[in-house]
Amino acid sequence: MLDRRLRLASIVVALIGLGAAGYLTYSKYAHGGVCGVSGGCTVVQQSKWSELVGIPVSVLGIVGYVGILAALAAPQRLELVRLALVLMTGVGFLFSLYLMYRAYITLDAFCPFCTTSAVCQTVLFLISATRFVVGPGHQPSLAAAAALHEDSGEAEDDAA
Amino acid sequence: MPRMPSGSKSKQEAARQARLEREAAERAAAERKKRLAILGGALVVIVAIVAIVLAAGVFKSDPSDDASETDGVTGVKETQEMLAGVPYKGTVLGKPDAPVTILELADLKCPVCKEHELTSQPQLVERLVRTGKANIDLRLVNIIDPNAGTSDGAGARTFANNLIASNKYWPFIHTLYFNQGNESEEWASEELLQRIARSAGAGTVSARETSATRTAEEGADKLFEGLQATGTPSIYVKPRGTNEYTPVSSFNDVDAIAKAVDDAAKKAK
């Protein structure tokens, strides 16, 4: 039950992050990358840290969120899927942390959409790590299931 | 089959239940321990991936990074190279009677203007200005200061406009972009501006507003508002003898500007 809730929360958070990254990408292209349109976000988006190998980091953000959502849609019992989620969200979290450092300390700029995405990555990483360590839900072990089965059998006997 | 006394049976059952629970808990703890170890390994991989990306320095490069430095001023040589042999007067670079005027509205604190000035402008000068196809009229607006909560942009604009009369406006502006600081910081000190002006061949420049600088500022602001520009840099082409400004949205696309100039040239009078 807990795992399902955490998975649902991850999907919601990833969608919020996708929205923020999508808006940043839209604003970068729609405004033609000019100065003076949206304050802090423009400062961040025009900085040298706004592109990685020529690709805007907001586009990389979209790719990342889509990947996370795809992993969340995959069968969650597979440990590899959960590990992939940890790796994806972990890289996103650490990279966001670095970009936040550049935005707030180096550029002294407040970009609400960048911050939203960074918060989403942090939450996603924490949830993914927790889900990975806790394991795939509260599935009763075989022994516990056997005990449960016997219990119910005896209850039937007693009733008879 | 004889049934066991219910008290003994329930005790036995309770013990069995406790054993099963203990075993399940032990298994869960062992699994958790294993997953924690995997998580630790994953964290190492994550840190390694991000560290490699950051160390590789694959972020957008700054066009002023590789520029030359002369007496503490960056880009003097590059500016001289770009302007060599090209006439400039006041705010206009190139032949005053060129068939097309490229109007550029820029802010000295705007990082995108810096990128345009240092990467696209030299190409525009080579392709369009030197060939006499167009001239460039660069006007300064001040839109970063109100957004960034700074005031040095206004001072830098006044300083630059004070160089129009002495015809050092273009070398000053191009060199200044090489030395541009962070737009959210007050980097355009008078000391730096004077140093850049000296490198551009000017003497000591007044940083004070005059009627001439006010006229230049009002003219640029009027153009910015009249053309409904939303940011900087904003590029327009205007055929000679007309007052028809056509915006070029792809300001960093030299081919697009060249095409706009060719189109505008057909309407020149």
Q: Is the pLDDT of residue B269 over 60?
A: yes
Q: Is the pLDDT of residue A143 over 50?
A: no
Q: What is chain B written as a DSSP string?
A: -PPPPHHHHHHHHHHHHHHHHHHHHHHHHHHHHHHHHHHHHHHHHHHHHHHHHHHTT-BPPPTTTT--EETTEETHHHHHHHHTT--EETTEES-TT-SEEEEEEE-TT-HHHHHIIIIIHHHHIIIIITTTSEEEEEEE---HHHHHT--HHHHHHHHHHTTTTTT-HHHHHHHHHHT---TTS----HHHHHHHHHHTT--S---S--HHHHHHHHHHHHHHHHTT--SBSEEEEEETT----EEES-TT-HHHHHHHHHHHHTT--
Instruction: Report the Cα B250 to chain-centroid distance in Å.
Output: 15
In this predicted structure, which of A25-39, B23-37, B193-207 has the lowest mean pLDDT?
Answer: A25-39
Q: Is the pLDDT of residue A34 over 90?
A: no
The kind and range of the H/E element at A54 are none
Which of B194, B179, B178, B174 has the alpha carbon at shortest distance from B80?
A: B174
Rounded distance between C-alpha atoms, residue B65 and residue B244, angstroms? 38
pLDDT digits (tens, 9 = 90+) for B239-262: 999 999 999 987 778 999 999 999
pLDDT digits (tens, 9 = 90+) for B26-40: 988 888 899 999 999
| In contact, B83 and B77? CB cutoff 8 Å | no
pLDDT digits (tens, 9 = 90+) for A1-20: 788 999 999 999 999 999 99
Pick from A35, A79, A101, A107 the residue to mutate for testing the B interface (most B CBs within 10 Å): A35
| In contact, A129 and A82? CB cutoff 8 Å | no
Interface list for chain A against chain B, based on CB atoms closer than 8 Å: 31-37, 39, 42-43, 46-54, 83, 86-87, 90-91, 94-95, 98, 106-109, 129, 132-135, 140-141, 143-144, 146-147, 154
Rounded distance between C-alpha atoms, residue B114 and residue A16, angstroms? 33
The kind and range of the H/E element at A140 are none
Mean pLDDT for A116-137 is 92
Predicted pLDDT of residue B36 = 93
Dihedral class, residue A36 (left if φ above 0, else alpha if ψ from -120 to 50, else beta)? left
In the structure encoding, which two tokens stand for residue A13, read together? 């958070």
pLDDT confidence tier of residue A36, bands split at 50, 70 and 90: low
Classify the C-alpha dihedral B181-B183-B184-B190 as positive or negative: positive
Rounded to two decimals, the ipTM of the complex is: 0.75
Mean pLDDT for B146-150 is 82
B8 versus B204: the higher-pLDDT residue is B204
Mean pLDDT for A50-72 is 93
| In contact, B133 and B261? CB cutoff 8 Å | yes
Percent above pLDDT 90 for chain B: 72
Which of B88, B21, B232, B193 has the alpha carbon at shortest distance from A33?
A: B232
In the structure encoding, which two tokens stand for residue A159, read together? 């009733």
Query: Other CB atoms closer than 10 Å to residue A160's CB: what's the count?
Result: 5
Rounded distance between C-alpha atoms, residue B156 and residue B86, angstroms? 24
SS3 A55: strand
Rounded distance between C-alpha atoms, residue A28 and residue A14, angstroms? 21
Predicted pLDDT of residue A151 = 46
Contact yes or no for A141 and B112 at CB 8 A: no
Average model confidence (pLDDT) across chain B: 91
Which of A4, A2, A7 has the alpha carbon at shortest distance from A71?
A: A7
In the structure encoding, which two tokens stand for residue B34, read together? 């294993």
The kind and range of the H/E element at A111 are none
Average model confidence (pLDDT) across chain A: 82
In this predicted structure, which of A102-106, B135-139, B223-227 has the lowest mean pLDDT?
Answer: A102-106
Predicted pLDDT of residue B81 = 96
Identify which of A35, A47, A91 has the shortest CB distance to residue B232: A35
Instruction: Please give, rounded to a whole number of angstroms, the shortest distance from the CA of B116 to a CA of chain A.
Output: 10
Mean pLDDT for B146-167 is 92
SS3 A66: helix
Predicted pLDDT of residue B184 = 78
| In contact, B112 and B214? CB cutoff 8 Å | no
Measured between beta carbons, which residues in chain B are less than 8 angstroms from residue A49?
Answer: 59-60
SS3 A35: strand
pTM of the entire structure?
Answer: 0.69
Rounded distance between C-alpha atoms, residue B61 and residue B73, angstroms? 20
